[in-house]
């Protein structure tokens, strides 16, 4: 029988930690003299007590490591439990959101999706704005640990190809995870501080620089303003583009770099392809903007660089309403949202390495057709790729596309139009943020959607953030029988 005590213990600790972080927005509201500080005090007490009691009640079942069953269950339930408690300040705070909206906002934050149901961000208490940033910052570092430790161990979506990429958990998931998480945290904090410093030097006040640094490095995209990053047009867009790209690169390479090994980050084909794709898209978009619209070259390049980097990395900031750029570029923005960044980063969506493996597999199949008696193997970074990896990647693509289709269909049944349904499903599963159209596009938000659509999109964010397969496996009989 499956022992859920180790799972409950870890979830309880994480809920308690989440509750403890509510002290920071509470102090901000106290300093500002806002009466909202008690909301975070009450929410923090509820979260710490609930999480602490859960951890204490399950402590007698803790072992050195987790079984595969327990790890699958933990990976999904953490991203269900934390948004529930992360939603509490939105319910009792100045927004006074209904629970469905508060849960949507918290899920969007912790999955670093960046979709929002809140209008009038400019007038919100700074405590709530900071809380939105904290949710995304915690979600960003959390997903790095999941992508580097848990998913390779669970052989989800081809992630097992990275088991030898600097870290090997050797089946003892939790003990090794603690060591890896410590190294990642130092680098993650360092990137955040560097981003904050640059933003402040470019004219942002300290609070805006802090929140936007957290949501940039986490590739989350929550902003303190309804106009998103359009409030800071100019040099800050270049800085944000740089840090979004840095956050979308594999963090294992940073760990290797600080340990004196620079070759891996320079030779990583995933990084090379990612940068080439961004470069090609930016040049093409700049050309279109200067040819069709009245843009200066610098402005066109800056807007193209920022918005393309934002969407492909899954950050979801917008500096302009690119819905006005014409159908060609609008379609391009939809497609690049389904590309994503590198594996083991804060970025989301399909990921570059899966497209590399897909094209390598197609190339190999074409070679076999041309030379039936030859022996051809798909290769990734010079290494032959086994059939188990390819099967896992192909399964991911199938489930990703099927999930996108089913979620789009389900959203359309709630009364949404085709563009809103399709782009809403894509932005949820790919964890991008804004969709397309007047309602959920870069100039709008998700507040006008019906409750059913918000629950569906929340589920889509969870499924997409956890690489699809690690969630679906919980719904198979074999999983519970094992």
Give pLDDT, residue 182.
83
More confident residue, 36 or 188: 188
395 within domain boundaries = yes
What pLDDT, on a 0 to 100 scale, did the predictor assign at position 440? 93
Query: Which tokens go with 438?
Result: 């007047």
Identify whether 465 is part of a domain.
Answer: yes
User: How many other C-beta atoms lie within 10 A of the C-beta of residue 248?
Assistant: 26
| Tens of pLDDT, residues 74-109 | 989 999 999 999 999 999 987 888 999 999 999 999
Is the residue at 95 inside a domain?
A: no
Does residue 422 form part of some domain? yes
Provide the whole-model pTM. 0.93
**SS3 at position 372:** coil
Q: pLDDT tens digits for 327-339?
A: 999 999 999 999 9
Which pLDDT value is given to residue 344? 87
- Could you give phi then psi for residue 380, rounded to 5 degrees? -130, 120
Whose tokens are 């940068």? That residue is 275
Task: Confirm whether 426 is domain-assigned.
Answer: yes
Query: pLDDT-based confidence at 55, cuts 50/70/90?
Result: very high
125 found inside a domain: no
Does the pLDDT of residue 258 top 80, yes or no?
yes
Instruction: Name the residue with tokens 């938000």.
Output: 445
The number of domains in the chain is 1
Token pair recorded at residue 457: 């999109």
Q: Is the dihedral of CA 280, 284, 290, 293 positive or negative?
A: negative
Q: In a 3-state reduction of DSSP, which class is residue 431?
A: coil
Q: How far apart are CA 424 and CA 230, in angstroms?
A: 22
Give the whole-angstrom CA distance, residue 387 versus residue 208. 48
- 384 phi and psi, to 5 degrees? -65, 140
DSSP annotation string for 167-228: ---TT-HHHHHHHHHHHHHHHHHHHHHHHHHHHHHTT--HHHHHHHHHHHHTT----SSTTG
Is there a domain that residue 439 lies in?
yes
Strand segments, DSSP code E, in 217-327 are none
Mean pLDDT comparison of 51-60, 153-162, 279-288, highest-scoring range = 279-288
Which string of b and e fits 354-393 if b means at least 16 CB within 10 Å?
A: bbbbbebbeebeeeeeeeeeeeeebebeeeebeeebbebb
- Adjacent-strand bridge partners of 384: 379
Which tokens sit at 203?
């004219």
State the Cα–Cα distance between residues 391 and 158, nearest whole angstrom. 8
Contacts by 203-211, CB closer than 8 A, 24 or more apart: 203/232, 203/236, 204/232, 204/236, 207/28, 207/126, 207/129, 207/130, 208/232, 210/130, 210/133, 211/129, 211/130, 211/132, 211/133
C-alpha to C-alpha distance for 470 and 70, rounded to whole angstroms: 12
Q: What is the C-alpha to C-alpha distance for residues 434 and 442, in angstroms, rounded to an integer?
A: 5
Residue 482 has what pLDDT? 62
Nearest of 70, 117, 95, 178 to residue 455 by alpha carbon: 117
- Binding site members: 112-113, 220, 315, 431-432
Cα(282)–Cα(310) distance, integer angstroms: 12
Q: What integer pLDDT is reported at residue 388 of this predicted model? A: 87
pLDDT band at 169 (very low <50, low <70, confident <90, very high): very low
Taking phi over 0 as left and psi of -120 to 50 as alpha, with beta for the rest, 5 belongs to: alpha
Residue pair 432/348 in contact by the 8 Å Cβ criterion = yes
Q: Tokens for 305?
A: 């660089």
> In this model, does residue 165 exceed pLDDT 70?
no
Q: Answer whether residue 352 is part of any domain.
A: no
Helix (H) or strand (E) holding 379: strand 379-380
Question: How confident is the model over 267-324, as pLDDT tens digits?
Answer: 999 999 999 999 999 999 999 999 887 778 999 999 999 999 999 999 999 999 889 8
Give binding residues for K(+) as ranges.
112-113, 220, 315, 431-432
pLDDT for residue 147: 79
Give CA–CA dist 283/183, Å, rounded: 36
Q: pLDDT (tens digit, 9 = 90+) per residue, 193-251?
A: 999 999 999 999 999 999 999 999 999 999 999 999 989 988 999 999 999 999 999 99
User: 466 lies in which domain range?
Assistant: 387-480
Measured in whole angstroms, the distance separating CA 454 from the mean position of its chain's CA atoms is 18
| pLDDT tens sequence across 376-402 | 888 888 888 888 888 999 999 999 999
- How far apart are alpha carbons 129 and 444 in whole angstroms? 18
Which helix (H) or strand (E) segment is 18 a member of?
helix 5-20
pLDDT at 139 (0 to 100)? 93
Q: What is the pLDDT of residue 28?
A: 94
Look at residue 403 and tell me whether its pLDDT is greater than 90: yes
């Amino acid at each position: 029988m499956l022992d859920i005590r180790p799972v409950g213990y870890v979830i309880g600790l994480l809920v308690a930690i989440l509750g403890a972080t509510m002290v920071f927005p509470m102090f901000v509201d106290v300093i500002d003299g806002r009466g909202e500080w008690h909301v975070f005090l009450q929410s923090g007490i509820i979260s710490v007590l609930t999480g602490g009691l859960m951890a204490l009640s399950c402590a007698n079942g803790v072992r050195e490591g987790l079984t595969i069953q327990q790890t699958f269950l933990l990976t999904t339930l953490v991203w269900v439990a934390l948004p529930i408690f992360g939603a509490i300040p939105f319910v009792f705070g100045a927004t006074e959101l209904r629970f469905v909206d508060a849960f949507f906002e918290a899920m969007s934050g912790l999955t670093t999706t960046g979709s929002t149901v809140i209008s009038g961000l400019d007038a919100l208490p700074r405590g709530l704005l900071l809380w939105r940033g904290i949710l995304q910052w915690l979600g960003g570092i959390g997903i790095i640990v999941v992508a580097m430790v848990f998913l390779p161990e669970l052989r989800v979506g081809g992630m097992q190809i990275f088991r030898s990429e600097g870290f090997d958990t050797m089946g003892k998931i939790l003990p090794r995870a603690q060591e890896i998480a410590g190294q990642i945290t130092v680098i993650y904090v360092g990137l955040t501080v560097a981003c904050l410093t640059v933003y402040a030097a470019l004219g942002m006040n300290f609070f805006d620089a802090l929140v936007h640094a957290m949501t940039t490095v986490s590739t989350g995209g929550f902003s303190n303003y309804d106009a998103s990053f359009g409030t800071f047009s100019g040099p800050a867009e270049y800085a944000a583009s740089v840090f979004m790209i840095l956050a979308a690169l594999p963090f294992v390479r940073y760990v290797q770099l600080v340990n004196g090994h620079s070759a891996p980050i320079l030779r990583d084909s995933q990084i090379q392809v990612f940068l080439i794709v961004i470069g090609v898209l930016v040049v093409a978009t700049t050309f279109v903007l200067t040819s069709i619209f009245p843009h200066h070259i610098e402005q066109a390049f800056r807007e193209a660089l920022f918005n393309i980097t934002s969407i492909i990395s899954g950050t979801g900031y917008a500096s302009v309403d690119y819905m006005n750029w014409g159908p060609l570029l609008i379609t391009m923005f939809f497609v690049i949202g389904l590309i994503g960044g590198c594996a083991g980063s804060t970025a989301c969506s399909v990921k570059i390495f899966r497209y590399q493996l897909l094209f390598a597999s197609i190339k190999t199949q074409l070679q076999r057709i041309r030379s039936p008696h030859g022996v051809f193997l798909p290769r990734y970074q010079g290494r032959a790729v086994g059939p188990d990896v390819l099967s896992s990647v192909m399964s991911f693509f199938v489930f990703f596309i099927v999930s996108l289709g089913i979620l789009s269909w389900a959203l359309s049944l709630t009364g949404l139009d085709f563009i809103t349904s399709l782009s809403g499903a894509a932005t949820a599963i790919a964890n991008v943020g804004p969709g397309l159209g007047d309602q959920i596009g870069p100039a709008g938000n998700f507040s006008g959607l019906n409750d059913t659509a918000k629950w569906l999109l929340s589920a889509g964010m969870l499924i997409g953030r956890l690489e699809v397969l690690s969630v679906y496996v919980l719904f198979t009989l074999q999983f519970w029988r094992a």
